[in-house]
Amino acid sequence: MEGTQSNSNAELIPHLFRQEYSKMTAVLCRYFGLEQIELAEDIASETFLKASEYWPVHGVPENPAGWLYTVAKNKAKDHLRRGQLFETRVKDALKPAEAISGHEFEFSDEIIADSQLAMIFVVCDPVNSQSAQVCLALQILCGFSVEEMANAFLSNMETIKKRLQRARANLRNDGFQLRKLQKDEISTRLDTVLKTLYLLFNEGYFSQNENQFIRKDLCSEAMRLTLLLVENKLTNMPQVNALLALMCFQSSRLDARTSDTGEAVLYEDQDRRLWNRFLIEKGNYYLLKAFSEKQESKYHIEAAIACWHTTTRDEKWPHILQLYNRLIVLEYSPVTAINRLFAFGKVYGKESAIKEAEKLNLSSNSYYHGLMGFLYSGVNTGYAIMHYKQALRFTKSVIEKKALADKIDQLTTLVQTAGQ
């Protein structure tokens, strides 16, 4: 029984940390001022540390999130009672309109939503480069670790650490403040905010983490934050609705993308009965809202592609290919080029797709070799095995390695059987 309770705590606390840490930090920054962001982060971290020590002994409270916010509020009051800290490091830094009187503050749903919305736009300050803004927002608002960011950007941890240090220093030097959103801030920073949420969702949907193929908690967090933008009249814009539609369509197939044993399931092999119809309907709703104005972004096109993927109609592939052709002109990326080739093969056949693929020059990309392995299957089994082995060499994912090894075994058996 004790072992079960310990396992429950081990799973619950990281989940709550992902869900509540950034909310807690945002509200504390609303109170202390963003110049004291490290103080807010310390209080939030201490709160979760106390939970990890207290809950295994006394049990998980009936309302775990409420318990965390109560502890955070008390810890914040304790810091303020240490008069010297308040007088020398906090009080002078706060403007009268920004301070909350009486040392009383709330963690209401409205305050949490407003604080998070303001926080992400402040963090995405043009004083930093776009890549630095994305890293900073992922860390502060989304709770990414340095390792997760290094995976998301295919960079090393030391580079990410230095980028974060410089970004935080720039924000301090710029005298940034947590305040209500202004229209000019939205117009200059919205692209970075959307890119941050897009990267967050993608890290969950197709995780670069070695041991996890899908991380539903990251997908949920990205959708929750995007919904915050949709629900605010200042940020309820076509491209925001398009991004949320994309997330809904992609999330609708999450349960079908892995088998009962945790192995990756390719799109062609997915059990359509596992697709979430509610999320597909939500995706359609937000996609219609996105196209209500004459505006098109990469999120519009990707959402339309994802929408076609949730249908079972065979004639979808020419439409998907046409959309990829538009997307690749709007914003080229190796992933887009590889995905386009899959659709190209569906329309024009594998041999034509192979000729197109050879023009890409992506010989060190595991996804490229995985695609080539698929395209050569049934055309040239030896080449298919060779490419799957190359994909196996370049991928970091344990689950992908297992799926690729299975493909190689199947094709090798096929060759051996044919030779007998």
Instruction: Output the pLDDT for position 102.
Output: 43
Alpha-carbon distances, residue 138 vs 73, 214, 238 (angstroms) = 24, 18, 23
The one-letter code for the residue type at 33 is: G
Instruction: Output the pLDDT for position 208.
Output: 60
The answer to whether the beta carbons of residues 255 and 262 sit under 8 Å apart is no
What's 92's DSSP letter? G
Alpha-carbon distances, residue 155 vs 146, 158, 388 (angstroms) = 10, 9, 24
The answer to whether the beta carbons of residues 289 and 343 sit under 8 Å apart is no
- Is 149's pLDDT higher than 90? no
Give the residue-averaged pLDDT of 145-149.
Answer: 83
The whole-model pTM stands at: 0.81
Give the residue-averaged pLDDT of 135-141.
Answer: 84
Share of the chain above pLDDT 70, in %: 87
Could you give the CA distance from residue 26 to residue 169 in angstroms, rounded to a whole number? 18
Could you give the CA distance from residue 279 to residue 69 in angstroms, rounded to a whole number? 31
Compute CA 209 distance to the chain's CA centroid, rounded to the nearest angstrom. 12
Instruction: Output the pLDDT for position 382.
Output: 93
What's 258's DSSP letter? B
405-411 contacts at long range (C-beta below 8 A, 24 or more positions apart): 406/263, 407/373, 411/377, 411/381, 411/384, 411/385
- Is 29's pLDDT higher than 70? yes
Burial of 234 (0-12, 13-18, 19+ CB in 10 A): middle
Q: Read off the pLDDT band of 177 (50, 70, 90).
A: low
Could you give the CA distance from residue 402 to residue 392 in angstroms, rounded to a whole number? 9
Instruction: Output the pLDDT for position 92.
Output: 57
Q: Which of 17-26, 230-239, 346-355 has the lowest mean pLDDT?
A: 17-26
